[in-house]
Amino acid sequence: MKTVLLTGGTGYIGSHTAVELINAGYKVVIVDNLTNSSIDSIEGIHKITGVRPDFVKADCSVCCEMESLFKKYNGFHSIIHFAALKAVGESVEKPLEYYHNNLSSLINLLQLMKKGGGGDLVFSSSCTVYGQPDSLPVTEKSPYKPATSPYGNTKKIAEDILRETINVNSSIKGIALRYFNPIGAHSSAEIGELPLGKPDNLIPFITQTAVGIREKLQIFGNDYDSADGTAIRDYFHVVDLAKAHVLALKRLEENRNKAGFEVFNVGTGKGVTVLEIVKAFEKVSGLKLNYEIVGRRAGDIEKVWADTTLANTELGWKTQSTLEEALLTAWNWEKKLREVKSEK
Ligand code: UD1
């Protein structure tokens, strides 16, 4: 059985990927420092798959902690690196924390891989590397625009670090998946997005408003160039994203990644406005959402959606769930969380 290390594996995307990897027959080891996730995800993964992944609490940006982890498992067949700080606004306030955490964790992993700790790496990148593109949809060849935040810059620099390292180390192969906007939760409602404190992202803010934790959703700007004036993103189901990671690992294993380092957009190829999301949520939940329009959020771009041709043809990946299905799972997850909390 191939052992895969998931850094940040108790987090939102990591936990859903752990489920898909276990279902695909991999042994999963999770390392996480639990600063922005809960150990409860391990129980959720166990409930869904019947398998409890190994869990090690450690910080990927601390070199000696990673050394002990790699020593304990005698290296890994492959690594999926999710662990990162990810709040765009916070990154503007705390650039050093973001550069230090997000880049030193990747460097630590690559150094250990160079010493024989593993050969295949899948990296969590983001559509943020494109900034505001000149033309849409964006392809992997679209030119980079200046990053709008230190967070965005860490993703761009991380891709450069990977490309340059892999260029001169033939034992390492890598794929960066550039995520657009993953949403939703596992259909079992055993795992999902669990923001600590006030959510930054749209969907948890919507579900928390609908469940009564937040008074109203603030929609950031209605003066963008879109049909209803609100910003456009490419939202897709997190379980579909999780499956893209399994396909990326398979591609690395089958040696179809001849370039050494490759990047793939993962999204639906369809742009949706914030107001369209609100309406779709109201439809699936049967509720009216309290919201107001406020000014634009600093650092936001106007619109972005993916050209997913490369992922479709090379990875054999395509989204399977609709926007409504994804929103329904997010809503079911939120309701279940509140039931569990009120029982405690
Ligand atoms: C951003 C990054 C993405 C990163 C993610 C992590 C870009 C283009 N994308 O996603 O790479 O992985 O953060 O957090 O930089 N909105 C509201 N009200 C809210 C929250 C959001 O109107 O309370 C709007 C935003 O203005 C935006 C849309 O909803 O237009 C989506 O926002 P969000 O869920 O935060 O994701 P991004 O900003 O697209």
Question: What Rg, from alpha-carbon coordinates, does the chain have?
Answer: 19
The closest alpha carbon to 152, from 132, 122, 182, belongs to: 132
Show which residues are catalytic: 151
233 pairs with which residues across the strands?
272
Helix (H) or strand (E) holding 5: strand 3-7
Q: What angle do CA 121, 11, 343 make, to 5 degrees?
A: 160
Pocket test for ligand 1, best of 138, 142, 145, 181 (most atoms within 8 A of CB): 181
| Angle of the 63-72 helix axis to the 95-112 helix axis, nearest 10 | 30
Tokens of 330: 């997010």
Burial (CB < 10 A; 0-12, 13-18, 19+), residue 285, is buried
- Distinct helix (H) and strand (E) counts, the chain: 11, 13
Report the Cα 233 to chain-centroid distance in Å.
Answer: 15
The verdict on the CB of residue 219 being under 6 Å from ligand 1 is yes
Where helices occur in 122-237 by DSSP H, the ranges are 150-167, 202-210
CA 183 remoteness from chain centre: 9
Low-confidence ranges of the chain (pLDDT < 70): 343-344
Give the nearest ligand 1 atom to 149 CA. 15
**Cα(333)–Cα(141) distance, integer angstroms:** 36
Angle at alpha carbon of residue 41, lines to 29 and 279, rounded to 5°: 130
Q: Please state whether beta strands 54-57 and 27-32 pair in parallel, antiparallel, or not at all (unpaired).
A: parallel
The SS3 call for residue 128 is helix
Nearest-atom number in ligand 1 for the CA of 301 is: 8
Q: At what angle do helices 12-23 and 40-49 cross, to 10 degrees?
A: 30
CA of 211 from ligand 1 middle (Å) equals 21
| C-alpha span between 162 and 174 (Å, rounded) | 7
For ligand 1, whether the C-beta of 114 sits within 6 Å is no
Residues 6+ away with beta carbon under 8 Å from 340: none
Instruction: Give the pLDDT score at 344.
Output: 64
Residue 132, token pair as written in the block: 């505001």
Q: Exposed/middle/buried for 164, CB within 10 Å: 0-12, 13-18, 19+?
A: exposed
